[in-house]
Amino acid sequence: MTKTLLLSFFISANLIGQSSDSVTIASVGQHKIYKDQFVDRYTDYLLATGIKDNIVVREAILDNMINEILLYHFDDNKDLFSNPEYQKESAWAEKQSVLAYLKDQEVYAKIKVTEREVREAFVRVNKKIAASHLFAPTLEEAENLYKLLEIGVDWDNLAAQVFTDSTRIAWSL
């Protein structure tokens, strides 16, 4: 709680009367987090998640930015950065990022979607589907149930015959 109050006070004290985007809102040793960096990160997060703006999320994003500085600059990363497995994973992640960017630019950006297609997709996505099953202990009984369904016997009637609900029996006594 006191950390939150101090953080809020520090941010508001730094922002009062200053309109520049280069305002420092947090310092970790010699490293600074500037207002424009925070706003960019926070805006990206809100747009990506759809979460509404609130103080808890703001503090969490700023805490993450501070933690990134701590982990990168103050943790001993020599062993990590020189680890062959890390280098392999890092190269793979970099390649995947480039491929994702190219896919966005070369494939997805060139797709033209009509209003009709958007409406059809909306209808398809918003359909609800339900599934039910009937249990038969043998293949022969399962085939008999299937034949009954094919000739038009009501699913609910078959289900009532096949399943016994012990809770319904207990309440009807």
Residues 104 and 67 in one domain: no
Inside any domain, residue 134? no
Q: Average pLDDT by consecutive 10-residue portion of the chain (173 residues)? A: 49 52 87 94 90 92 92 80 90 94 88 90 82 87 91 88 65 51
Kindly state the tokens that stand for 120. 């059809």
Which of 75, 94, 118 is the last residue before a domain boundary?
Answer: 75
CB 56 within 8 A of CB 1: no
**CA nearest 56: which of 17, 127, 4, 113?**
4
Instruction: Indicate the residue among 33, 57, 75 that finishes a domain.
Output: 75
Cβ atoms within 10 A of the Cβ of 62, count?
18
* Residue 98 within any structural domain of the chain: yes
In a shared domain, residues 65 and 85: no
Instruction: Quote the domain boundaries for residue 159.
Output: 139-172
Q: How many domains does the chain have?
A: 3
In angstroms, the CA 112 to CA 119 distance is 14
Residue 25's pLDDT is what? 93
Quick count: other Cβ atoms within 10 Å of Cβ 150? 8
